[in-house]
Amino acid sequence: MSVAIERPRDAYTSEGTTPKGGLSMLFQSTLPQRFWNKVYSIESGCWMWCGAITGGGYGNFNIQPGQWSSAHRLTYQEFVGLIPISRLNERWTLDHLCRVRACVNPLHLEVVTNRENILRGVGFAARHAKTDSCVNGHEFTPENTAQRTRPEGGRLCRECRRWRNAHVTVKRRAGLLKPARSGKGGWQAR
């Protein structure tokens, strides 16, 4: 699968700035021709998508009027095979191993769960999952770690929770807290 793809030069006018055809190109060209006219390779091995790009930086291909598909998903399905169907708690997605969202090279893509894809990244969830202690320095051990039951999930330091609960109890007994009016429980400062 080490195919080098060069973007055809005739996809542009002689000035090299305006695509030929406009909407008529959508109906007159074959799908593969239209697709590969928007791809070129670079030295890193990435096949860069030069067509429409989503707000998240992924290639977007207009299959027919009103029907769009992710460009990297199309190349993966063409060269490798189908992406597994997502089930209840397990959503499958493609991870860009090269970290270039506009890359459509199937060798740079791997099918992983959505959770694994997020944890491989560099966002907040990935950074937080890699920490081994809470903000107060308590280690995340099985004995000291509770899982949040809220939909967003996450870890909770039991030592910090004990400290927080003890301070709330002291303030409540001193009369510095009053019951919350929201009816959801908890205490508010007076």
Q: Count H helices, E strands: the chain?
A: 6, 11
Backbone dihedral angles phi then psi of residue 28, each to the nearest 5 degrees: -95, -25
* Lowest-pLDDT choice from 35-44, 87-96, 138-147: 87-96
Identify the helix (H) or strand (E) that includes residue 167: helix 158-173
With a cut of 50, say whether residue 119 has pLDDT above it. Answer: yes
Higher pLDDT: 172 or 17? It is 172
Q: What is the CATH number of domain 1-130?
A: 3.90.75
DSSP string, 80-149: T-PPPPP-SS--EEEEETTS-TTB--GGGEEEEEHHHHHHHSSSHHHHHHT-SB-TTS-B--TTTEEE--
Instruction: Quote the CA–CA distance of 128 and 156 in Å, as a whole number.
Output: 12
Whether residue 13 is predicted with pLDDT greater than 50 in this model: the reply is no
Would you place residue 23 in the very low, low, confident or very high pLDDT band (cuts 50, 70, 90)? very low
- Region 136-140: mean pLDDT is 92
The alpha carbons of the chain give a radius of gyration, in whole angstroms, of 26
pLDDT tens string 69-97: 999 999 999 999 999 887 777 889 999 99
Q: Are 37 and 11 in contact (CB under 8 A)?
A: yes
Residues 6+ apart with CB under 8 A from 46: 98, 100, 102, 103, 105, 108
Task: Provide the residue ranges of all domains of the chain, joining segments of one domain with +.
Answer: 1-130, 134-190
